Amino acid sequence: MSGAQLTEATVKELCDVAQLAVELAKKAGADHAEVMVRDGTELTAKVRLGEPELVQEAGSRALGLRVLVGAKRAVTYTSDLRREALEALCAESVALAQLAEPDEYALPPDPAQLAKQIPDLDLYDPAVAEVEASWALREAKNGEAAAQRHDKRVTNSEGATWSRVLGATAFATDGGFVGGYRGSYASLVVEPLCDDTTDPENPKKRNGYWWTANRFLNQLEVAEAVGIEAARRTVATIGSRKVETQECAIVFDPEVARSIVGTIFSVANGSSFWRKSSYLVGREGTEIASKLVTIIDDPLIPRAPGSRPFDGDGLAVRKNMVVERGVLAPVLCDVYSARKLGRQSTASAGRGIGGNPGPTTSNLIMQPGEMSREELLEQTGRGLYVTALMGFGFNPVTGDFSRGAQGFWIEGGELTYPVSEVTIAANFDQILKRIDLVANDLNMRSSTAAPTFRVSHMTLAGTSK
């Protein structure tokens, strides 16, 4: 079982279908039409305790259509790409739009703003498409077995999963834009379990994980190395305990740091601003974080996981500053949210097949510092090194932040014992402004990425004195 290659001919075929649908929508009475077509396959191969648990491969083609009749809009989609089916879809979509309420902000972008060129960002690896399920199962099995061999305390497993996604996207509008591209992405995650009998009266199962991912097959970490790191992280949690309630330094591991960066975007985008659902409204151009914090959104990085040659409105993408040396830049906007705010789009639109465009990120990256992670820890006398956050304790309107956490206690600049069942809390404004050390260990496995960084102090709720 191997995935069919997505070739340049595939992309051209999808572009032709998108253009045809635009023409049919106009003939059906639409004043404006935008069409997105996607073709993709996914492979998932999972093993648990050395035995195959899941092998699944699926493919799909779908077309999303947005039409406007005056300022009235409708969004529809279909998986039937035959001409007669598209003709029916267009007629139904125009009829639906005529029943909608008008929205002047939903009009398409000025054709002069649409992308004129489609840069090649090298996002597709044919080798990923050639992977067969049997090979993927072996890789998953090798990763899980390495975790079990590495430490005898690994006694069970949630499994290991190797997966890949192949996709081709085409987009066309009646404003004259048509473009397409293809992409690949592969990953392996290993999830060991171990028994924690530190407290014989209350034995627990401890779980952990590690993963590797890349658009290119030969850039993945070796399966055995992933398993070993997963085992190391899992057994390190044995003997986890609470610490006393206090204020202390909080160091965020990159796996957690990137979620903090993602939270910044959730309150620093055009949609949250026009809805006034963000504590940052009115603060563009002001200091919202430490001067050590610079965050960019860059869709033009070759081979990066979030790269794309054009946005969901058909605009030419560009690198945007999100936070520059602590100062909030103009927030990321699609055409709709930009109009709501009386400004221009930052070419940051994303859209699904069956939805309207909205602001999104591409490669959202907090820039690394100059010190190593080890040097950062050495400069931290005591505090908590956070490796996981639990719960959803963030209020975007007030900025209040309170999440369950686990990790390791830092004493004398070193990680000492594991910690769990504690909560860290502060206002998000304080968290960002208190970032006083940033390491250089940035890794671009995911489209949102950050290095290790330290917040000088937060409230840590644990046991009472």
Please state, in angstroms and rounded to a whole number, the distance separating the CA atoms of residues 93 and 43: 33
Please state, in angstroms and rounded to a whole number, the distance separating the CA atoms of residues 141 and 155: 15
The answer, yes or no, to whether residue 2 has pLDDT greater than 80, is no
Instruction: Reduce the DSSP state of residue 12 to 3 states and report it.
Output: helix
SS3 letters across 100-134: CCCCHHHCCCCHHHECCCCCCCCCCCHHHHCCEHH
List, in order, residues 6 or more apart from 257 with CB less than 8 Å away.
366, 450, 451, 452, 453
State mean pLDDT over 131-140: 97
List, in order, residues 6 or more apart from 410 with CB less than 8 Å away.
249, 251, 377, 380, 381, 382, 383, 384, 385, 416
> Among candidates 292, 283, 291, which has minimal Cα distance to 399?
283
How high is the pLDDT of residue 218?
Answer: 97
List, in order, residues 6 or more apart from 63 with CB less than 8 Å away.
17, 18, 21, 35, 36, 37, 77, 78, 79, 81, 86, 89, 353
How high is the pLDDT of residue 4?
Answer: 75
Residue with tokens 């305790």: 49
- What is the set of domains in the chain, with CATH numbers? 8-233 (3.30.2290.10), 240-258+368-461 (no CATH)
Q: Name the pLDDT band for 197 (thresholds 50, 70, 90).
A: confident
DSSP string, 188-241: EEEEEEEEE-SSTTS-EEEE--EEEEESSGGGSPPHHHHHHHHHHHHHTTTT-B
Q: What is the pLDDT of residues 63-94, one digit of tens each?
A: 999 999 999 999 999 999 999 999 999 999 99
How high is the pLDDT of residue 354?
Answer: 87
Interaxial angle between packed helices 133-150 and 223-235, expressed in degrees from 0 to 180 and rounded to the nearest 10: 40
Q: What is the pLDDT of residues 148-169, one digit of tens each?
A: 999 999 999 999 999 999 999 9
How high is the pLDDT of residue 182?
Answer: 97
- Angle 346-349-350 (CA atoms, 0-180°, nearest 5)? 155
Q: Which residues pair with residue 251 across a beta bridge?
A: 385, 454
Q: What is the pLDDT of residues 416-434, one digit of tens each?
A: 999 999 999 999 999 999 9
State mean pLDDT over 109-113: 94
Label residue 344 exposed, middle or buried (CB < 10 Å: 0-12, 13-18, 19+): middle
How high is the pLDDT of residue 1?
Answer: 35
List, in order, residues 6 or more apart from 289 with CB less than 8 Å away.
323, 326, 328, 432, 433, 435
- Token representation of residue 97: 């739009």
The answer, yes or no, to whether residue 302 has pLDDT greater than 70, is yes
The answer, yes or no, to whether residue 22 has pLDDT greater than 80, is yes
The whole-chain average pLDDT of the chain stands at: 96
How high is the pLDDT of residue 397?
Answer: 97
